[in-house]
Homo-oligomer: A and B are copies of this chain.
Amino acid sequence: MYVGIDVGGTNLKAGLVDEQGRLLAVRKVPLGMFQGEEFFARRLAELAAQTAHDGGVAPETLEHIGIGVPGTTEGGLVLFTCNIPMKNVPLAKLVNRYLDVPVMLGNDADCAAVGEYFCGAGRGVSDFVVVTLGTGVGGGLILGGKLRPGSELGHIVTHRGGDLCNCGRRGCWERYASASGLIRLTREKMDAAPDSLLWELSEKGERVEGRTAFLAAERGDETAKEVCRIYVEELACGVIDLINLLRPEIVSLGGGVSGAPEDLLLTPLRTLVDRECYASHGGQLARITKAELGNDAGMIGAALLGKAI
């Protein structure tokens, strides 16, 4: 039995998971204000213990606890996180002061990839990539059945000299293939098309969201169709890069944008990938699918980290 905790931007979500990857109990609590690493570690330990109890398991009998954090980890150290002020914090050791069970740390996107690999879209293969399309582009790599920790899928440059990215580079894939990139593109094309349905669907441009273009395209709006087409091309560019480099068997899309209608996202993406990837000259083509576990992927993957490392 394992407990996985997903440290999100607003919540901590913990799940009790068994050997087969089945979720036996879940707890969700607000992240709250950060009151120091000691306090944070105690909350994590308590949350893990409570979640184990919920599932009728004595906490000290857990095989391990996995914690997925939005940042970089190394061994039991959190090197840094994006939304919580932690830098070089020995989080595993701190949690162990309150609960004497092995603690594994991982990046949250890596954990999501592990979850999908064992329990979702990546079941049964050996080489698997998850691409998460949210505020940024994240994801994780499973190669030869093992996690390659710390990959930054969104921070490969597809547009040299392009938009400035938060990471400091210019033209990162994330700037174009994320939900934020899609929203920016939608706004740009709307401005040049005052009659587009996009205006109506976004409260006169007040609420442009990732799905706005897909909704309008479904209703036949030409500007929206163009937005979707350009967006899928940007997405395909990085997906094909990953396939050319790593030759995974499956690439799965997760995150908010992956909920878009199949005929506007996955189908044209598959066409581009099949046409442009290097393996089109010979060899096995990768399958492009949708991730299956939604927001639970990170929590389940955190629990199963030990199987993937």
Contact = CB atoms under 8 A, between A and B. Distances in A.
Interface of A: 72, 74, 79-80, 87, 141, 143-144, 146, 148-153, 155-160, 167-169, 234, 237, 240-242, 244-247, 275-276, 278-284
Contact of A168 (B72, B245, B280): B280
Contacts of A246: 141, 148, 151
A276 B169 contact: yes
A243 to B, nearest CB: 9
A148 B247 contact: yes
A282 B80 contact: yes
Given A158-B160, A160-B234, 19 more contacts: A72-B283, A74-B283, A79-B283, A80-B281, A87-B282, A141-B246, A143-B148, A144-B146, A150-B247, A151-B247, A156-B156, A156-B241, A156-B244, A156-B245, A157-B240, A159-B160, A167-B278, A167-B281, A169-B240
A76 to B, nearest CB: 15
A158 B157 CA distance: 6
Contact of A283 (B141, B150, B244, B281): B150
Contacts of A240: 157, 169
A245 B152 contact: yes
Interface of chain A: mostly helix, strand, loop or mixed? mixed
Contacts of A151: 244-247
26 contacts: A72-B282, A72-B283, A79-B283, A87-B282, A141-B246, A143-B143, A143-B144, A143-B148, A144-B146, A150-B279, A150-B283, A151-B244, A151-B246, A151-B247, A152-B245, A153-B245, A156-B241, A156-B244, A157-B158, A157-B237, A157-B240, A160-B237, A167-B278, A168-B276, A168-B280, A241-B241
Given A160-B237, A282-B80, A155 B244 contact: yes
Nearest to A243: B152
Contacts of A146: 144
A162 to B, nearest CB: 8
A131 to B, nearest CB: 12
A268 B57 CA distance: 56
A79 B152 contact: no
Contacts of A244: 151-152, 155-156
Contacts of A276: 168-169
A167 B237 CA distance: 14
Nearest to A88: B282
A17 B107 CA distance: 42
Contacts of A282: 72, 79-80, 87
Contacts of A278: 152, 155, 167
A275 B168 CA distance: 9
Contacts of A241: 156-157, 241
A233 to B, nearest CB: 8
Residue in A80, A168, A245 whose Cβ sees the most chain B Cβ within 10 Å:
A245
